[in-house]
Amino acid sequence: MKLGIVIPCYNEEEGLAETTKHLTLLMEKMIKANEISSDSFVCYIDDGSKDKTWELIEQFKDESSLFKGIKLSRNFGHQNALIAGLMQLKDEADALVSMDADLQDDISVVEEFVVKYKKGYHVIYGVRDDRTNDTKFKRGTAEMFYKFQEFMGIESVSNHADYRLLSKKALNALADFKEVNLFIRGIVPLLGFKSTSVYYTRGERFAGETKYPLKKMLLFALDGITSFSVVPLRLITIVGFILFLASLIGIVWIICEKLLFGAPVQGWASTMISIYFIGGIQILSLGIIGEYIGRNFQQSKNRPRYIIEKEI
């Protein structure tokens, strides 16, 4: 079995040498045990790094035939860098494993991936068995995110990021998805092939800073929701209908008060609250609709998701 490992990198100068050291030991061990073929490889995808990441990748390639490199022309984002590696290398291996460059994912799990692959699984997810290393805030927001996805009808694997194995058959199917706003962890379950999960404990980041601060996490979650669910649009319809009913009740109440009691219509405060409330709902609704229209606009331009500057 020829195995490829695909790793997107953005400004990973501080920790890439350590990652390479661990991956070299793992690959050599698996090759020696005949778990994978000797022409298996690791490919780093440089997503427009501004430090010496690409120079290090070239150095690793010169030092070992295990390593390859793909340099993108600029920073296209993690998901685009990942899909670039998967699509460029899908015909060069029997299966590809994707992972991050920070050594937080337990790389020894790759051996379990290979065992599951040989049992006939086309998709193997790496799933965290606990989140004790995360802050309380991150654990809480992650749990809310997965529950919200479920509410929106999005099929996904809880506590799974982008650590997975995809067979060549699954990769060829993935190539048919042409979304510009990528949410790969939502696309993969749609492939429908035989899948399973392998559980592991996620460690601390070896070096450098996280490339997914809160702002990027929120934008990533927004991409996932708008790419796979029309529930927000339906909620707008439901809220509009409820407000319409409430307004009818209000009109009837005002007419009855005027005809039966002859009392003038009072309540300046309640009137202003209603105006602000309905106005806020309208602006929020326009924003949600705008997100969907904006994504359709981006998709209609059919621009490339990534541009490759160099391959080694």
Residue 71 · residue 46 · CB < 8 Å: yes
Superfamily of domain 3-229+304-311: Spore Coat Polysaccharide Biosynthesis Protein SpsA; Chain A (3.90.550.10)
> Rounded to an integer, what distance in angstroms lies between the CA atom of residue 239 and that of residue 188?
32
Please name the residues in contact with 311: beta carbons below 8 A apart, sequence gap of 6 or more.
Answer: 68, 69, 70, 71, 88
pLDDT at 140: 66
In terms of average pLDDT, the best of 120-129, 232-241, 245-254, 258-267 is 120-129
pLDDT at 291: 77
pLDDT at 152: 64
> Rounded to an integer, what distance in angstroms lies between the CA atom of residue 208 and that of residue 15?
7
> Rounded to an integer, what distance in angstroms lies between the CA atom of residue 124 and that of residue 114?
9
Q: How confident is the model at residue 9 (pLDDT cuts 50, 70, 90)?
A: very high
Q: What mean pLDDT value characterizes the chain? A: 83
| CA nearest to 163, candidates 135, 118, 123 | 123
Q: How confident is the model at residue 43 (pLDDT cuts 50, 70, 90)?
A: very high
Is residue 211 pLDDT above 60, yes or no?
no
Q: Could you give the angle at the alpha carbon of 26 between the alpha carbons of 25 and 28, nearest 5°? A: 65
Is residue 34 pLDDT above 70, yes or no?
yes
CA distances from 300 to 81, 179, 180, 295 (A): 21, 10, 9, 9
Domain ranges of the chain: 3-229+304-311
CA distances from 155 to 123, 167, 295, 301 (A): 15, 20, 20, 28
pLDDT at 310: 94
- Residue with the larger pLDDT of the pair 171 and 137: 171
pLDDT at 299: 73
Q: How confident is the model at residue 292 (pLDDT cuts 50, 70, 90)?
A: confident
Is residue 170 pLDDT above 60, yes or no?
yes
Mean pLDDT of 296-307: 81
